[in-house]
Copies of this chain bind each other. A is one copy, B any other.
Amino acid sequence: MTTVVMLTAENPSGELVDSSQPLISIEDQGLTRGDGVFETMLSSNRSVRKLDSHLARLANSARMLDLPAPDNQALTSAIALALDEVETGPQTVVGEEHVVKIIISRGTPEAGPHCWVTAAPAPSSTLDQREHGVAAMTLPRGHDPAEDGAYPWLLTGAKTLSYALNMAVLRYVKKQGADEAIFVTEDRRILEGATSSVLVARVENGVKTLLTPEPNHGILPGTTQGAIFTAAREHGWELGFGPLYPQDLYESDGVWLASSVRLLAPVIRLNGNPLPVDKGLTEELLSYLAQG
């Protein structure tokens, strides 16, 4: 059961609601138009990782969609209320990780936008990816999303509820026996995963370099990638920003998919072929996240 905290006019900092009952109007534009924004976060021991980065990205997404600016104080209270509930109930597992989401929907035309927070145990399938790695496959993105970046009406960089394409991609790669897609341009340049950022490590002559595809307006800025890069630099890593091609992945010392709940999953196969795997590097990069 997912714990749900609704931010309401009566309780702007949120109130627990019963998610076993229908809670959403059939005319909610989050439903009828995918018209809303969201963030997905990871919490453990009642603390949400890099909450500030998520709130900043949420505010940016809301601004791009002309939704009201989120009230960060209210959201922080609502998250605390949700975590109190999931971490103190009779079924609490000590140390269990939780997925925390914030959703802002445009709501019905009459009532207008509304916002809620959910919390639920992190799915074991995701935790497995962190532990055992993932099989990825490259898929053409059709066009380079950088082409869209100059036009704010295309919402590039906003994390919206309109996620049907990402879900279709995951279904597609699963049918092919893979866990995640890595989007590439027509000239095979690496972009990002369907639900993750791509990280690549190179170790040469004692110099460790961490790379990710060149940031541009066409790739959603990854909060996990950002956190790892900041920490890695402090620990003496060189940082690099693409371009990266599949060859670079095969010739690397490690490839990972980074996202908020998965954290860091080593890519162990690409298009069915083995990739270099280095448990020591995975543990090192994960330890940076634990400190953050």
Using CB atoms and an 8 Å cutoff, list the residues of chain A in contact with chain B.
Answer: 2, 4, 19, 21-36, 38, 64-66, 101, 103, 105-106, 116, 118, 139-144, 147-156, 158, 160-169, 171-172, 181, 186
List chain B residues, Cβ under 8 A from A4. 26
- Which of B140, B164, B181 is close to A36, meaning CB atoms less than 8 Å apart? B164
Q: Which residue of B lies closest to A163 (CB)?
A: B33
Complex Cα spacing A105 to B181, Å: 23
- 7 new A-B pairs (CB below 8 Å) besides A33-B163, A36-B164, A152-B172? A21-B22, A26-B116, A32-B101, A34-B163, A64-B168, A65-B168, A160-B162
Query: Of residues A139, A154, A164, A165, which shows the largest number of chain B Cβ atoms within 10 Å of its Cβ?
Result: A164
Complex Cα spacing A119 to B169, Å: 32
Is A33's CB under 8 angstroms from B161's CB? yes
Complex Cα spacing A168 to B37, Å: 12
Is B164's CB under 8 angstroms from A139's CB? no
Is A24's CB under 8 angstroms from B31's CB? yes
Is B34's CB under 8 angstroms from A161's CB? yes
Complex Cα spacing A151 to B184, Å: 12
Is B26's CB under 8 angstroms from A2's CB? yes
A143-B147, A148-B142, A151-B139 known; A167 and B33 CB under 8 Å?
A: yes
Is B161's CB under 8 angstroms from A31's CB? yes
Is B26's CB under 8 angstroms from A19's CB? yes
List chain B residues, Cβ under 8 A from A154. 141-142, 165, 168-169
